[in-house]
Structure 1
Amino acid sequence: MAAVDAGTVRRMTDTLFIERGLKSPGSTRFWGLLVLAAVIASAGVVGDSTATVIGAMIVAPLMTPILGSALALVLADRSQVVRCVLLTLAGAVTVIAIGMLLGWIAAPPDGFASNGQVTARISPRLIDLLAALATGTVGAFALVRADISDTLPGVAIAISLVPPLAVTGLLVTVGRYHDASEAALLFTTNVAAIVATGTVVFLVYGVRGAAQECGLPVAQFHGRTLAAVGVVVLLIAVPLTTGSISVARDRLLAADARPVAEHWAVSGKWQIASVEARNGVVVIGVLGLPPQPAPTALRTALDRAGMGDADLELHLVGGRTHWCPADGDTCTVRDSAAG
């Protein structure tokens, strides 16, 4: 594997280190594209449009300061590390704020409960970290190898940065704070993966030596820096592992609940539209004409099938929602938007 030359390092620093000053070309480009990407992503999520969200991924410039953080760590340039981290944090807050603004304007009555773009970003799992590590490696590899730089648009699509932040802002406006934190965790996972893989790739390709050749300031690199990056990745892996286990449990719970729900619905000639589980809560959608089957009968059937510790949320045609708590024999009616 050939090390990078001085010209490549100079190109990398020019690309990743945004100039100081809000009126500088790099800053105006970064903030202009970021605001537009945030609007596109938020609008795409509200409209549940995958194509629009992908467009926001391509436009979003957040990967620049994130990979810049990795390069600054390798060069042991403390001032650039601080600047890149602050740019990343400020950019993230900006996207969340724009998401909140659009959420206040266009949040649907169901609080994004049926939105596929939201659902895809509120259950981060360990597999998301593995995918982010692989994608971050490709992104760093494309920077040190000019001959494969045309893969960067694919990297932008594969690693989700702006959409999870937009989802975070949108969910805050409808009071879904736990789900908002899960979307923020997905963003944090991707950031940590980019920094970790970028640091390793830049070290492997001898960026430090090439930087010294072209006169860039290079301080002493400590092994504890690499260890700290690894620790951050491991810490993020903990909630992702927990999330993976939770998702697996929910899938098993939904699979167990479906035949029980179908047997219950047959008595009233109703049809089960959907059966899923969310964080241990069985959520069932039912279609049919009055009279409706008794929700308490379904609650009892689930209890008998060994699911007495799972709450039940039953959505009936007409927008009515029945909430049947675990270890209870009564169900309450509430507005579906509150679920």
Structure 2
Amino acid sequence: MARVDAAAARRMTESLFIERSLRSPSSTRFWALLALASVIAAAGVIGDSTATVIGAMIVAPLMTPILGSALALVLADRDHVVRSVLLVLLGASAVVLIGMLLGWIVSPPDAFASNSQVSSRISPRLIDLLAALATGTVGAFALVRTDISDTLPGVAIAISLVPPLAVTGLLITVGRYHDAGQSALLFATNVAAIVATGTIVFLLYGVRDAAAEAGLTVGRFSGRTLGVILGVVLLVAVPLTAGTVTVARDRSLAADARPVAEAWAATGQWQIASVEARNGIIVIGVLGLPPQPAPAALRTALDRHGMRDADLELHLVGGRTHWCPADTDTCTVKESARS
């Protein structure tokens, strides 16, 4: 395996370590691009536009301080570790706040229940961790190998950093706190994977020796550091394992509920817009003109088909939401969805 030289080590630190001064070129570039990427991501999620969200992924600069954290850990440079970690935390908080701001301005009546950009980011699974590990490896590999640096835009698209944070902010504004936590978990999964794979790649390519030759700050690196990083990855894997099981259960529940919902809607010539399950709750979106079919009749039909233990959340056109708890035959009306 080819090892990096002193010039490459210097180039890597210049690329990944953002200067302390807020007026410095690297700092102003980071915050300006992050703010713009946040607005683009939130707008893309609100508009349910995949192309717009991909644009935000390309613009977003959060990968820089995350890989910078990995490089600082390898060099055992405490100052840059603290600075990079703070940039990640502050940057993530800024994206969430921008998402909340846009969520307050534009809050759909169904609380994003039928939004595909939201639903794809609130159920992180082990496969997401595997993808993040592979993507983080490619990102670090492209950084140490200038001959494959053209792959970095693809890495930016493959790894989801700003979009799940924007989703977190948007979901907080509509009271979906559990789902907001799940999208934040997806972000944390990607960060942990990037730091872990970046650290390993930098060590394998001899970045420490190259940095010492370049006269850069290189402290004492211990195996304990690597153990802590891998421990964090394993810690993240625990809720992802639970998420994998939950997703499988929810998909089966949604598949069972759809034909029942379609038969119920046909009685009033309504149309089923969406059927999904979130953490054991059946969420159904319905479109049509008054009079509406009776929500309690759908609750009864679901019970009759073996779904008595699942709560029902029914979103009707115009923003009215019916909540039908499990083991009951009554439904309550809400003006907006909260889950």
What TM-score do you get using the length of structure 2 for normalisation? 0.93
In the TM superposition, 1:94-105 aligns within 5 A as 94-105=94-105
2: distance between equivalents of 1:55 and 1:145? 25
Moved more, 200-209 or 316-325: 316-325
Q: Does 2:184 match 1:184?
A: yes
Rounded to whole Å, the distance in 1 between the matches of 2:319 and 2:234 is 43
Matches within 5 A, 1:211-250: 211-250=211-250
Q: What does the per-residue CA deviation read over 1:294-328, in whole Å, with 9 as the maximum and x for residues that have no partner?
A: 43333223223221110122334555433221111
User: C-alpha displacement at 1:117, in angstroms?
Assistant: 1.7
2:22 paired with 1:22: yes
| Segment drifting more, 205-214 vs 285-294 | 285-294
Is the aligned partner of 1:127 residue 2:130?
no
In 2 relative to 1, CA 14–312 (structure 1 residues): closer, same or farther, beyond 3 Å? same
- Residue-pair matches, total: 339
Note if 1:209 corresponds to 2:209.
yes
Distance verdict in 2 for CA 1:37–1:259, change over 3 Å: closer
CA distance in structure 1 between the partners assigned to 2:39 and 2:318 by the alignment: 33
Are residues 289 and 27 of structure 1, via their aligned partners in 2, closer, same or farther at CA, if it must alter by over 3 Å?
Answer: closer
1:184 Cα deviation from its structure 2 partner: 1.0
**2:98 maps to amino acid:** I
Report if the CA contact (8 A) 2:110-2:315 is conserved. no
Q: Secondary structure at the match of 2:150?
A: helix
In structure 2, how many angstroms separate the alpha carbons of the residues matched to 1:105 and 1:320?
20
Specify the alignment match of 1:323 in structure 2. 323
Q: Secondary structure at the match of 1:3?
A: coil
Q: Distance in 1 between matches of 2:270 and 2:47?
A: 30
CA distance 1:63–1:331, shift in 2 (3 Å): same
My pick for the range that moved more, 143-152 or 157-166, is 157-166
The separation in 1 between residues aligned to 2:38 and 2:266, in whole angstroms, is: 46
Question: CA offsets per residue over residues 241-299 of structure 1, 9 Å max, x none?
Answer: 11111111001111222233344445555554432211111123345566544433332
Are the structure 2 counterparts of residues 23 and 173 from structure 1 closer, same or farther at C-alpha, using a change threshold of 3 Å? same
**Cα distance in structure 2, aligned partners of 1:101 and 1:289:** 33
Q: Distance in 1 between matches of 2:203 and 2:296?
A: 62
1:171 corresponds to? 171
User: 1:138, CA displacement in angstroms?
Assistant: 0.3
1:84 aligns with 84
Partner of 2:143: 143
In 1, are the aligned partners of 2:251 and 2:276 still within 8 Å (CA)? yes
- Partner-residue secondary structure (3-state), 1:313: strand
* Bigger mean CA deviation after superposition, 327-336 or 268-277: 268-277
Q: How far is the alpha carbon of 1:333 from its aligned partner? A: 2.9
The equivalent of 1:255 in structure 2 is 255
* Alpha-carbon separation, structure 2, partners of 1:109 and 1:274: 15
Question: In structure 1, what is the Cα distance between the partners aligned to 2:296 and 2:165?
Answer: 39
2-side partners of 1:290 and 1:42: how far apart? 33
Distance change in 2, residues 1:280/1:193 (3 Å) = same
Q: Compared with structure 1, are the counterparts of its residues 122 and 141 closer, same or farther at alpha carbon in structure 2 (3 Å cutoff)?
A: same
Deviates more, 1:297-306 or 1:126-135: 297-306
Stretch of structure 1 that moved more, 42-51 or 256-265 = 256-265
| One-letter amino acid of the structure 2 residue matched with residue 301 of structure 1 | A
Counterpart Cα distance in 2 of 1:227 and 1:272:
50
1:112 aligns with 2:104: no
CA displacement, residues 63-86 of structure 1 (integer Å, 9 cap, x when unaligned): 111101101111111111111101
Shift of 1:47: 2.0
Q: Displacement, 1:146?
A: 0.3
One-letter code of the match for 2:233? V
- Over the matched positions of the two proteins, sequence identity in percent amounts to 80
Distance, in Å, in 1 between the alignment partners of 2:173 and 2:189 is: 23
What is the identity, as a one-letter code, of the residue corresponding to 2:284? Answer: I
1:105 Cα deviation (Å)? 1.8
- 166-175 or 138-147, larger mean C-alpha shift: 166-175
Relative to structure 1, the CA distance from residue 13 to residue 328 in structure 2 (aligned partners, 3 Å threshold; closer, same or farther) is same
Range 136-145 or range 289-298, more displaced: 289-298
